[in-house]
Amino acid sequence: PPKLDTLGGSRWQKARAVAQGAIRDYAAKLLRIQAERQVLSGNAFPPDSDWQREFEKSFVYPETPDQLRAIEQTKADMEAARPMDRLICGDVGFGKTEVAVRAIFKAAVGGKQAALLAPTTVLAYQHYQTLRQRFADYPIEVAFLGRLASAAEERRVLAAIASGECDVVVGTHRLLSADVRFARLGLVAIDEEQRFGVRQKERWKERFRSIDMLALSATPIPRTLYLALAGARDLSLIETPPSNRLPIETVVCPYDERTIRAAIEKELARGGQVYFLHNRIASIDRVCRRLRELLPAARIEIGHGQMDKEDLEGVMQRFVAGETDVLLATSIIENGLDIPNANTILVDRADRFGLADLYQLRGRVGRSNQKAFAYLLLPRDRFLMADAKRRIRAMQEYNQLGAGFRIALRDLEIRGAGNLLGTAQSGHIAAIGFELYCRLLREAVSAVQGKKVRSALACKVSVDFLDRAFEKPGLPASYISSVEERIAAHRQAAEAGSLAEIRELEQSWRDRFGPLPESARLLLAEAELRILGSDRSLERIEVEDDKLRLQRNGRYLMVGGRFPRLTGDDASSKLASIKKWILTLA
């Protein structure tokens, strides 16, 4: 858990200063990379052809507004002369893959080769089959390169890539090997980008510097981070669910064979298929035998990463084809498998999975207009750790579509931000908090771009008579009873950037909660001082024993060699006196 800092102590100030320095460097690095790519000459693809329009019309599902926006942004990037570097962030099953499919088609029709990378062999092979099926009516040669390909097939594919005979190749990180030489590579698409290691990402960034790059990520990227990075990295956010999609019902229960049998029989009775996740290879055969005893009529197969590649390929192909009723597997099914007919998943020992992993696993089902079910099975006779309880509770609470962007738990925020920003930045997020990090990053990006920025932390206000006052600045529960609304109102006051915003805030509070108490008026007056001080490049506004100290450029401002003295007896009149002094400054 994060450490609390003492009010007025130095540890928080140091952590914030270190984070600010790192954020400035990071923003500069982001914009430098972007600037370098701007001057590189990439391949400008032609506008959409008749084939492209015909291909897109053949898509069987209606596109969502966010999906269409991401597709248009991607195609516009491809038609520009500079190399594309776009990241598509979207919840599980919200149609990120279709963005990549259309980009790959555009590249192939435009006379260039395209490569699609996936983190696992199973997912890569499914993408390969999808592309072959989607491109079947067009003269586009699609090949697969990965663990499931034989040595002879691998040699044939490598030769076809090098000669240009192969238009599209799908594979795992094997595509990054030195012996894979492309004749006319124009696009690299990376699915589940968050699953690749930092070194792998650096390798492909270096190798494909002048090539269009499109990355897809299912890790939730909170909107605040998205806005903070706007202008520093090309991002597309897909937040709207497909129109016919239903929320997944999450059932948390002890491991019970009657429940398991009933859940599987219910799914099979409506013609569907089932995932049963058991993440221990050592005991998976025993679980399979027991399931076959419980469900003698069901076709049950096992799939895990240590199987012979041909055997695993056969298992996955039969499940995709609907020839298997229940796939008993390890977490190899976590990444991106898209089987619309599979609408029930049972996760054994769900307490052993992280929140993001559980969310990904649940996303394997509910990919059609059928109601889907996720059963999180817990040990009956074991005590659950507090963290595991919180994760399971969060999965129950966040049942709605698109919940991946709203699971506001700290570990997921830091994981999502770390995947996008890099692990070094995660430490700073942990030190100063996610929201403040995003605000500072937004300011740093604007500053590096040469835009005028008023920092949220530019001017510090420290006034002793407010600390001693009976009515301290703030919003009491007697004025705003809801804790959430009270916190939001405090944040609005802290983040206000102009006197006009303060006036609007005051009017809003009066309309919603009634006349402002003295403490609320003092809170807004303090915010006014911070804004006025920032406008006049002040770093600090301090009052001690009625002496006013205004600091600018590291030096205190004096009048006749002395600090000005405040007039007035109460807090309101003293605040008015401070405001008057600040307004005299040029």
Which CATH number goes with the domain that contains 160?
Answer: 3.40.50.300
pLDDT band at 184; cut points 50, 70, 90: very high
Instruction: Pick 429 or 581 by higher pLDDT.
Output: 581
- Shared-domain flag, residues 218 and 270: no
* 212 within a domain of the structure (yes/no): yes
The predicted-structure confidence for 10-38, as pLDDT tens digits, reads as follows 676 777 778 777 777 777 776 666 667 66
Q: What's the structural domain count of the chain?
A: 3
Residue 571, phi then psi, degrees to nearest 5: -60, -40
Q: How distant, in Å, are the alpha carbons of 239, 261, 345 from that of 293?
A: 43, 10, 19
- Shared-domain flag, residues 372 and 228: no
By 3-state DSSP, what share of the chain in percent is helix, strand and coil, each rounded to 5? Answer: 50, 15, 35
User: Which helix (H) or strand (E) is 345 found in, with range?
Assistant: strand 342-347
* 488 within a domain of the structure (yes/no): yes
- Shared-domain flag, residues 381 and 489: no
Instruction: Pick 354 or 145 by higher pLDDT.
Output: 145
Asked if pLDDT for residue 85 goes beyond 80, the answer is yes
**Distance between CA atoms of residues 330 and 334, nearest Å:** 9
Give the range of the structural domain holding residue 551, as residue numbers without chain letter: 460-583
* 27 within a domain of the structure (yes/no): no
Which of 400, 418, 448 delimits the end of a domain?
Answer: 400
Which pLDDT value is given to residue 428?
66
Q: Please answer whether residues 471 and 477 qualify as being in contact, where contact means their C-beta atoms are separated by less than 8 angstroms.
A: no
Which neighbouring-strand residues pair with 88? 216, 236
Q: Please answer whether residues 464 and 544 qualify as being in contact, where contact means their C-beta atoms are separated by less than 8 angstroms.
A: yes
Which pLDDT value is given to residue 302?
95
* 155 within a domain of the structure (yes/no): yes
Which pLDDT value is given to residue 485?
78
Which pLDDT value is given to residue 518?
87
Which of 238, 270, 305 delimits the end of a domain?
Answer: 238
Give me the amino acid identity at 522: L
Which pLDDT value is given to residue 271?
95
The two three-digit tokens of residue 288, written as one number: 């399979």
Give me the amino acid identity at 81: A
The predicted-structure confidence for 270-325, as pLDDT tens digits, reads as follows 999 999 999 999 999 999 999 999 999 999 999 988 888 778 878 888 898 899 99
Residue 562 DSSP symbol: B
User: Which helix (H) or strand (E) is 237 found in, with range?
Assistant: strand 234-238
- Shared-domain flag, residues 60 and 183: yes
* 112 within a domain of the structure (yes/no): yes
* 467 within a domain of the structure (yes/no): yes
Which pLDDT value is given to residue 405?
42
**Distance between CA atoms of residues 415 and 350, nearest Å:** 20
What is 6-39 written as a DSSP string? PTT-SHHHHHHHHHHHHHHHHHHHHHHHHHHHHH
- Shared-domain flag, residues 385 and 261: yes
Asked if pLDDT for residue 417 goes beyond 60, the answer is no
- Shared-domain flag, residues 134 and 255: no
Which neighbouring-strand residues pair with 215? 87, 190
Query: What's the distance, Cα to Cα, between the start and end of the chain in Å?
Result: 46
The two three-digit tokens of residue 582, written as one number: 């600040």
Which pLDDT value is given to residue 414?
43
- Shared-domain flag, residues 147 and 72: yes
- Shared-domain flag, residues 129 and 206: yes
* 527 within a domain of the structure (yes/no): yes
Nearest CA among 242, 280, 268, 254 for reference residue 363: 242
CATH code of the domain in which 505 resides: 3.90.1150.50
Give me the amino acid identity at 41: S
Nearest CA among 274, 329, 336 for reference residue 303: 329
* 16 within a domain of the structure (yes/no): no
- Shared-domain flag, residues 189 and 333: no
- Shared-domain flag, residues 208 and 265: no
Asked if pLDDT for residue 66 goes beyond 80, the answer is yes
- Helices of type H across 386-516: 386-397, 410-421, 423-432, 434-448, 464-468, 483-495, 499-513
- Shared-domain flag, residues 130 and 224: yes
Instruction: Pick 528 or 494 by higher pLDDT.
Output: 528
Which of 238, 260, 291 delimits the end of a domain?
Answer: 238
- Shared-domain flag, residues 230 and 257: no
